[in-house]
Structure 1
């Protein structure tokens, strides 16, 4: 579904992932964890792939990570993104959970456009910190700021 306010895709929220989006709306980055064995998992799902337990909890993360990969789509694959090109799409591995990787965009601030960061500034391994952007319809998504080192 495309968000008419800023021309972005909005997430489809399912029962397993609903808590992720509820925490994001509060400005918290949380990841599902198995309440039995402690393994973190993303994307959220009902059963632990390690111990098969159906018990889960949501652990707060620091919001810090590193760019694991990125791409600059040329041309934008979706018409709603054409006006924001060139923009980035990044995969971020979380510092405290390197096997957990989230997809998003590096921006200059929480409400900034997807093209607000010069693509030349992006590097694999660059430190980033989560910020949260409210889209239309009450949906809040994590985005990423480059941290100065």
Structure 2
């Protein structure tokens, strides 16, 4: 179950980043239609309402899709090759783009349960996910 989070007066992106800096993954939920979403934005992507609240994710998710990159399209990632990019669906509903950690090469993970794990990169804690045990 998620909990509502009080947000400081700033942009949604800044509020979301501040929570990540505290190693908390937050998302927004519309008070009008109950839609939950990431990334942070000013209005609901479903009904366009600006009446929403912040909630904190439980850290549980499922892998929807993923790909392994063998070419770095940004030179900052050249030292990470090969690396994966995944779409996970949080237990609370929103989907997010992230990376999966501690995977075996060639492992198929679509539909598998994952849990939130922060890793430091570019001097910031970034939300990543790892496979949950059986």
- 1:77 and 2:62 are equivalent in the alignment: no
Counterpart of 1:105 in structure 2 is 99
Residues 43-71 of structure 1, C-alpha deviations (whole Å, 9 max, x = no match)? 22212234432122111111111111111
Q: How do 1:58-77 residues align onto structure 2 when only pairs under 5 Å count? A: 58-77=54-73
Task: Give the TM-score taking structure 2 as reference length.
Answer: 0.80
Report if the CA contact (8 A) 2:70-2:83 is conserved. Answer: no
Report if the CA contact (8 A) 1:35-1:55 is conserved. Answer: yes
Report if the CA contact (8 A) 2:37-2:95 is conserved. Answer: no
- 1:147 and 2:103 are equivalent in the alignment: no
Counterpart of 1:135 in structure 2 is 121
Report if the CA contact (8 A) 2:100-2:129 is conserved. Answer: yes
Q: How do 1:84-103 residues align onto structure 2 when only pairs under 5 Å count? A: 84-97=80-93, 100-103=94-97
Gaps of 5+ in 1: 1-13, 109-116
Q: CA deviation at 1:91?
A: 0.9
Give 1 or 2: higher strand fraction.
2
Identify which range, 82-91 or 128-137, moves more after superposition. 128-137
Q: CA deviation at 1:42?
A: 2.0
CA distance in 2, matches of 1:78, 1:48: 31
Q: SS at the partner of 1:23?
A: helix
Report if the CA contact (8 A) 2:36-2:92 is conserved. Answer: no
Q: Between Structure 1 and Structure 2, how many residues are aligned?
A: 125
